[in-house]
Chain A
């Protein structure tokens, strides 16, 4: 055991990568040819975009990949200028010990349109020395000129069986007992997100006992923001100010993201309707508001404001 399993069990080579078979076989062709165009990996979290990029970089650049590889996060807190300077400094050097250099830029969809245009120029300027791998959740947020300069690979959520198989492999390797029901439950909660699945597995394993349906449920409910139910109750009773306070505290203190909040609210009301604790009519109205809120947050609205507006629908 060394540190987080998500890192320890990150596949190191293209052939070890779980799922995404078609993508991998195309990427292996690039490795065979020893060259690659600019690439764009799109898809939800935890489906292997970064893992694939790292594995590709290692096999296409060979032994000295570290020296010829730059990994950057486009939503770097220090701003887009830092990102651009890093790219410039990195690109003006010739590749050494490798055919070319590679820049991996994560979360490109968080860049403003202006920054994306600047990036486009950067990409044109260094075509001879460097290739880019861009990664994002939604390719729709990327400006067309960048999209047209990249070969686009769409990563799908990983299939349940494939996640289960990987979890089983980890359990064997770490010497943990896991029953099928337990793994199934993890797969259910992971929704195709391998990182989440492995995190739940390690958290459940850290309790020291076998991984069962119960132990997984315990982890999942512990990891949930605790106050969501409470917040909804307050709102339903008409105490909007109280509910809004809980929302703000959860987001500021725990740093829960807007998207997480939306999905927690969804699963909370969804549970209530199936337990008969909420009228279906009212539920459906809420769903419309929740879906709308979800969409707007992904489109780039301020998550907290949108969630506050969503809360008013409960009162």
Chain B
């Protein structure tokens, strides 16, 4: 079970700090109970300071409550259809009020939630029920139109002595041995976020060993990864769907969260069937992330999110009593450590793809065969020459350098082949000129047109250098090309305007 749930304050008294605000809230609740409708409460403050906890404590004063996540890609219609009705019509029997709790009103997902703010505004206007809105950023643009319609309660960060006190209590109840300095450090690193502090404590705790400051030091300061640690702890340690969903509401790339969950499944779960089932859910989540990406229909994300959240969490029969440290996916460290190797691989694939008309993935699939071919000195030289490989790239395919003797021999052979090729082409050329003299003007015309764009010249230069088969007359080509180069530089400004025109027209 998640400690953040286990030790969540149940009454207003247990909520730490915020005495002035508590008074406002008590009045607000009393007024509703007396039948005096009040403007909605807007709780604003950084994550993990107890806004949701406070809302849930308030909810106990009402017979029923609905929780909604406003940033859940809900556009106007969805919000209206799910709470529009319940907010404007009261139940037929009795005047029981339903408390509506709307989380993340300043929605982290920005523009995707078109019309969402307006819908919330409408609901506030029409609602006959008490509402609590929760948001992180007081200055968010999305709150500007909402703030005037609400009673705003600004909640500050939790001070680190309060956090330390809470951590100490929890550690005692859980029988975790911890160096007080370690707890102090967690409290400081949490940067005022009680939830992350408690989750950090849970993810670092280990029944056998004493928690020392050095265990905490390795952790990065809250505000980058600790959100993910919360989410993972939530999924793996809880079996309550609502808690899991809440834990997964993090401002992180969901596929990254999935990697973290996947990484830690076999570390937390020890029953084989649980691992299988959990990983099956991860695979399904991944499938829907892929489908969302391919179809650009991000509505699929909600299924993916349930698979990796509720699916994984319910794959275990019971929550584990043991303590497991949450780990960063080894795939990232593996990729980071081998960045050089991967760059080399990609450079090679790029060279192959240009010279051999193949894609990167096919190029990479040829590597094992190239490794075998490179065992042969002469072939190694030939292929390296063909692909124009650098020394370090050759080393990818064979450890030993190609012997100097072989290189010399092969270079001589190549030079000789070139001479032969040139002679042959010269002969062909002579024949061609005798047979088809009218081709020359055409060639010229083509070059003029072609020098306007920015591409083509390279293949023509290659034609001069290398000896491909049935290629175009050489001497004739060279001369106009040089002339063109001059023209090219004169025409530079003109070219630019051409480009601009094209930008406008498309």
Contacts and interface: CB of A to CB of B under 8 A. Distances in A.
Contact of B275 (A252, A302, A315): A315
Interface string B345-380: 110001001011111111011111101110110110
Contacts of B296: 112-114
A1 B382 contact: yes
B464 interface: no
B32 to A, nearest CB: 48
Interface in A92-106: 92-94, 96-97, 106
Contact of A4 (B346, B372, B386): B386
A50 B358 contact: yes
Interface string A297-315: 0011110111011001101
Interface in A136-193: 141
Interface in A260-280: 260
B256 to A, nearest CB: 12
B299 interface: no
Given A4-B386, A97-B443, A224 B334 contact: no
Interface in B263-319: 266-267, 272, 275-276, 279-280, 282-283, 286-287, 289-291, 293-296
Contact of A224 (B358, B367, B368): B368
A47 interface: no
A306 B259 CA distance: 12
A88 B503 CA distance: 10
A141 B294 CA distance: 9
A244 B262 CA distance: 11
B254 to A, nearest CB: 12
A200 B459 contact: no
Contacts of A200: 369
A238 interface: yes
Interface bin, chain B: 35 or more
Contacts of A296: 283, 287, 290
A86 B455 CA distance: 9
Interface residues of A, number: 76
B334 A222 contact: no
A71 B456 CA distance: 12
B275 A3 contact: no
Nearest to A50: B357
B442 interface: yes
B265 to A, nearest CB: 9
Contacts of A22: none
B449 A96 contact: yes
B481 to A, nearest CB: 12
A150 B334 CA distance: 43
Interface string A84-124: 00101110111011000000001100001110000000000
A308 B279 CA distance: 8
A288 interface: no
B331 interface: yes
A182 to B, nearest CB: 15
B375 to A, nearest CB: 7
Contacts of B361: 257
Q: In this complex, which of B359, B454, B502 has the most chain A Cβ atoms within 10 angstroms of its Cβ?
A: B359
Contacts of A299: 287, 290-291
Interface in A191-215: 195, 199-200, 202-203, 206-208
B287 A315 contact: no
6 contacts: A1-B379, A86-B455, A114-B296, A305-B258, A305-B283, A308-B279
The 4 closest A-B pairs by CB, nearest first: A3-B386, A309-B283, A223-B368, A96-B446
Given A77-B350, A249-B334, A300-B293, 16 more contacts: A50-B357, A89-B454, A90-B455, A106-B357, A113-B296, A200-B369, A202-B379, A203-B369, A223-B372, A257-B364, A299-B291, A302-B290, A304-B331, A306-B283, A309-B283, A315-B272
